[in-house]
Amino acid sequence: MIGQTLGHYRVIAEVGSGGMGVVYRAHDVRLDRDVALKVICHGALNSKSACERFRKEALLLSKLAHPNIAQVYDFDVQDGVQFLIMEYVNGNTLAQRIASGAVPEETAKVIGIQIASALEHAAEVGIVHRDLKPSNTMVTSQGNVKVLDFGLARLLRSDDKDLTESFVSMGGVVGTLPYMSPEQLRGEPVDFRSDVYSLGAILYEASTGSRPFDSRVSTGLICDILNKTPTPPRLRNRNLSVGFENIIQRCLAKEAIHRYNTASEVRVALESSRGIVEGRSSGKQKSKTISPRLLILVALLLVAIWGCIVVTWRSPKRIPRVNAALANELVVLPVNTNDRNSETLAFDNGLVETLTARLTQLRTIHFRWFRQVKSGREVLRTYSKHASNLVQRWA
């Protein structure tokens, strides 16, 4: 196929292959842009009516316009070769990225949020992906996610009965076994919660580096998906948070009724879990900073010390002679704040003790330390009363 021209698309290179066909990178000679051509496997659309139904589906899928969904442009046939024209995404699949090991939790959450956002948009027009997996999830160098291959999706709210039934005639059970929900394996009708299960399997693998079930035998893998509970993610990666593990486990619930009802709920849960982590980290930073009220108190105490020094060194001619017991008298009140944190209390008491010790070294100053003052109003009343007495005695 490389070097050939299909329609007005010149095939450049093979990108990958899957159960439905081979994907090539091609150049649109009319619009001068690169596209992805998915050549449908021979016999997949074995009749003219099936081909026409698939064309109608491609037309509907082309209406999916979302930054996390690879755009479908057209569907065409040439010389018996059926191919789907899609947006070309330059990047690596999530499967390729996971092959080198698990990704950090925050990265997995960002990827999960974008996949959930794509599924949420598709759900608005009644489309279930049904084959969501790491190999059809592209991640660009900027970290943007593009979900591919919505061509296998089932149309839930279509008025065209033939269009809906075409997927049954094309093979019944559709999907990739390790990421298929239990209801898919049982051949039951699927809805958006089936995609939620697949998203949970992707998050599990991305964050732990292994799939929820590791059996290499298809029959054993089917049995595990239907009957067993996956190993808790934190047993495979102890760096994961409990909240993230709970989200994954809920997505992987055996019964659809126990999962999130929509991809939108998964997105909100992932976004909330990120907010909790960020909130905790900012809270820790806040506890290490000095309270503005403490800075104000320190400033006031420094002003009081400065005032004492000024009074002490003023000329005797400008101050009337009074009894020594009444001269240069300073009131020392306890620091009282609403913050009952142990570190704050220790800081307050330390300031008072230090100030008192320094003042006692000044022989010309008599100080009073009111240890029993507890409230702000009592401080004002006590200080005002004492200051009034001093003024009267000085006069």
3 state SS for the chain: CCCCEECCEEEEEEEEECCCEEEEEEEECCCCEEEEEEEECCCCCCCHHHHHHHHHHHHHHCCCCCCCECCEEEEEEECCEEEEEEECCCCEEHHHHHCCCCCCHHHHHHHHHHHHHHHHHHHCCCEECCCCCHHHEEECCCCCEEECCHHHCEECCCCCHHHHHHHHHCCCCCCCHHHCCHHHHCCCCCCHHHHHHHHHHHHHHHHHCCCCCCCCCHHHHHHHHHHCCCCCHHHHCCCCCHHHHHHHHHHCCCCHHHCCCCHHHHHHHHHHHHHHHHHHHHHHHHHHCCCHHHHHHHHHHHHHHHHHHHHHCCCHHHCCCCCCCCCCEEEECCCCCCCCCHHHHHHHHHHHHHHHHHHCCCCCCEEEECCCCCCHHHHHHHHHHHHHHHHHHHC
Copy the structure tokens of residue 61.
Answer: 């899928």
pLDDT score at 395:
47
368 and 307 share a domain? yes
Of 88, 105, 121, the domain-final residue:
88
Of 261, 289, 317, the domain-final residue:
289
pLDDT score at 249:
97
Please, is 309 exposed, middle or buried when counting C-beta atoms within 10 Å of its C-beta (0-12, 13-18, 19+)? exposed
- Tens of each residue's pLDDT in the chain, 395 residues: 788 898 899 999 988 776 667 889 999 999 999 999 988 776 666 666 667 767 777 777 777 889 999 988 888 888 878 888 889 999 999 999 999 999 999 999 999 999 999 999 999 888 888 889 999 899 998 889 999 877 554 433 333 333 333 333 334 445 688 999 999 999 898 889 999 999 999 999 999 999 999 888 889 999 999 999 999 999 999 999 999 999 999 999 999 999 999 999 999 999 998 865 444 444 444 444 566 767 777 777 787 777 767 666 554 544 444 444 444 556 666 656 565 566 666 666 666 677 676 666 665 555 555 544 444 555 555 555 555 554 455 44
pLDDT score at 157:
37
Q: Look-up: residue for tokens 């990047």?
A: 91
CA distances from 130 to 19, 119, 120, 255 (A): 13, 11, 14, 16
Of 54, 88, 122, the domain-final residue:
88
pLDDT score at 233:
96
CATH number at residue 139: 1.10.510.10
Please, is 317 exposed, middle or buried when counting C-beta atoms within 10 Å of its C-beta (0-12, 13-18, 19+)? exposed
Q: Which of 76, 131, 162, 224 is catalytic?
A: 131
84 and 161 share a domain? no
The dihedral formed by the CA atoms of 381, 385, 388 and 389, expressed in degrees to the nearest 10: -170
Structural domain for 191, as ranges:
91-289
223 and 323 share a domain? no
373 and 266 share a domain? no
278 and 303 share a domain? no
pLDDT score at 278:
44
**What does the radius of gyration of the chain's CA atoms come to, in whole angstroms?**
37
342 and 379 share a domain? yes
Each as own residue / partner, the long-range contacts of residues 158-162 (CB below 8 Å, 24 or more positions apart, any chain) are: 158/60, 158/126, 160/56, 162/49, 162/53
139 and 174 share a domain? yes
22 and 60 share a domain? yes
70 and 46 share a domain? yes
Please, is 81 exposed, middle or buried when counting C-beta atoms within 10 Å of its C-beta (0-12, 13-18, 19+)? middle
129 and 240 share a domain? yes
Is 159 assigned a catalytic role? no
Q: How far apart are CA 384 and CA 76, in angstroms?
A: 93
Copy the structure tokens of residue 74.
Answer: 């057209």
76 and 198 share a domain? no
| Domain count within the chain | 3
Which amino acid is present at 199?
A: L
26 and 144 share a domain? no
Beta bridge partners of 10: 5, 27
- Closest of 317, 114, 98 to residue 209, by C-alpha: 98
Phi then psi dihedrals of residue 176, to 5 deg = -110, 125
Q: How far apart are CA 105 and CA 267, in angstroms?
A: 15
